[in-house]
Amino acid sequence: MPEDAAPTAALDEAALRIDLAAAFRLACRMGWHESVGNHFSAAVSEDGKRFLLNPKWRHFSAIRASDLLLLDADDPEVMARPDAPDASAWCIHGTVHAMLPEARVLLHCHPVHATALCTLKEPRILPIDQNTARFFGRVAIDTGFGGMADEAEEGRRIAETLRGKSVLLMGNHGVSVAAPSVAAAFEDLYFLEKAAQTLMLAYASGRALNVMPDALAAKTAQDWRDYAGMAEAHFAHWKAVLDREEPDYRD
């Protein structure tokens, strides 16, 4: 197939299922999972309203491509289905995909360092190294935590705050990352957790931080865009590892 040929929707969904299942397995390997909670999704329709989501309370390490739920954000019966998703997952992902069709993939979890950053009064990612500067100008902060996200209003606020950005630091809660592909979202989540780890360790020193001037941070963030291919290479590497060690993620 020529590279510019549009794949059919069915092919898209099959490929997305495999990539999203890989992301769950890899999140587990990275230690980003939490019990049987948290949720990743990927839109399969142009308008974002039809999307794949992990089934309720299935451990990330066991998720297979065929396990992913195909949901419709406009379907009022979703939470009445026998295989209804987690209420918080439906609230966040259903609303974000419906309101932000450009957010093709949305990963939501509570990695320890990024979540620790989100507990600070001012949970900003200060540009103090290349990885923190990667996110300069790309981060939204939601400080309206209202308990477990299970109401439509909570989902709308999260979607509105994320609009135009690719990372949402959710105060008192965790993080969400939106990207055009699973590989790109995985890469941003990977670097987000690394950036937060570095920043929290630097804070823990108690010493003054050497924060980059805005212009340098913006240039560094722009420089990262020239490395966009890294995301695909990184994800392809890990999929090859999964293919050797736990190939049933593709099932």
CA–CA distance, 164 with 121 (Å, rounded to integer)? 23
Sole binder of Zn ion in the list 71, 167, 174, 193 (CB under 5 A): 174
The greatest distance separating any two alpha carbons of the chain, rounded to the nearest whole angstrom, comes to 57
Say how many residues make up the chain. 251
Q: Is 48 in the site for Zn ion (CB under 5 A)?
A: no
CB-wise, 79 or 230, nearer to Zn ion? 79
Q: Is 155 in the site for Zn ion (CB under 5 A)?
A: no
Q: How far is the CB of 64 from Zn ion (least distance, A)?
A: 23
Binding segment for Zn ion (CB under 5 A), chosen from 22-30, 139-147, 170-178, 211-219, is 170-178
CB-wise, 111 or 174, nearer to Zn ion? 174
- Amino acid in the structure at residue 134: R
Q: Is 127 in the site for Zn ion (CB under 5 A)?
A: no
Q: How far is the CB of 110 from Zn ion (least distance, A)?
A: 6
Question: Dihedral sign, CA of 133, 135, 138, 141?
Answer: negative
Binding segment for Zn ion (CB under 5 A), chosen from 118-126, 138-146, 169-177, 183-191, is 169-177
Q: How far is CA 162 from CA 36, 61, 201, 208, 248, in A?
A: 25, 28, 26, 30, 34
CB-wise, 127 or 174, nearer to Zn ion? 174
Q: How far is the CB of 88 from Zn ion (least distance, A)?
A: 6
- Which DSSP state fits 104? -
CB-wise, 172 or 181, nearer to Zn ion? 172
3-state secondary structure of 122: coil
Contact 179, 188 (CB under 8 A): yes
The binding site for Zn ion (CB under 5 A) comprises: 174
